[in-house]
Amino acid sequence: MARKLIFFDIDGTLVDHEKKIPASTKQAIEQLQVAGHELVIATGRGPFMLKPVSDELQIESYVSFNGSYAVYHGEVVYSHPIDPNKISELTEMTLQNKHPLIYMTPEGMRSSTHEIAYPEDDEEPLRKRLPPLEPDYHVDRSIYQCLLYCKEGDEACYKESFSELGFIRWHLFGSDILPPGGSKAIGIQALIEIAGFKREDVYAFGDGINDLEMLQHVHHSVAMGNAPDEVKQAARYVTKDVTEDGIMYGLRMLGLLE
């Protein structure tokens, strides 16, 4: 069998709903590596957030920040930060509305403020996970993705004022903000070209709304059984739930594993 290039999302794909990697997934990844296939993580997480998973599975190449920053065997092959001027304008607007803006770099993330517009939701889990406060973290740094802490109903003003940026809501209080044209598909294509694989030898597994462009872009796309219908409809194949050995089942379904 020719070598394949296989992209895997993390949350809900490689890791289950308890943030653990199923034993069958570990076994499947090991078998793919022994067979000589090229494996890549494709995630909305930043590099500093995906390390536990990449270390455990020994996958060193990745497309992070929903496609804005890609690394192939330790070398940065794609880098697309958000315009610093837009970050400054966005910061000013979010501070006025008491909506924390979280700045993300490959090394870490910091919050613009810990003051929040929703005191009635004081026990909300995401609020408790706000990163350290550093209002000037975005100054003289490349910011590849931001996390906007606000409810969906309050997001419209930002989409209108910053229509060139991408917004991907993944939580009641959380929305990722991407540079213009940002998507996993962009970073993936850059890595495909560097790695030199033919289109018919590229695969991808995902489960989230931020995986739509990736699944529509690759030749062999697989949606997890736990994915919403919109994601399943965008994929060529649908495997089982991540908790039901979905990765192993999907790879066998495609003939990549016995």
Q: Which long-range contacts (CB under 8 A, 24 or more apart) does 53-57 make?
A: 53/10, 53/14, 53/15, 53/21, 56/21, 56/26, 57/14, 57/21, 57/26, 57/29
CB 151 within 8 A of CB 171: no
* Two tokens, residue 185: 């598909």
Question: Per residue, what are the HEC states of 113-150?
Answer: CCCCCCHHHCCCHHHHCCCCECCCCCCCCCCCEEEEEC
Query: Across the strands, what pairs with 144?
Result: none
Length, in residues, of the chain: 258
- Residue 229 annotated to the active site: no
In the three-class reduction of DSSP (H, G, I as helix; E, B as strand; rest coil), residue 91 is classed as helix
The neighbour count for residue 24, using CB atoms within 10 Å, is: 16
* Two tokens, residue 170: 């993944």
Element (H or E) spanning 101, and its range?
strand 101-104
The neighbour count for residue 107, using CB atoms within 10 Å, is: 9
Active site residues per annotation: 9
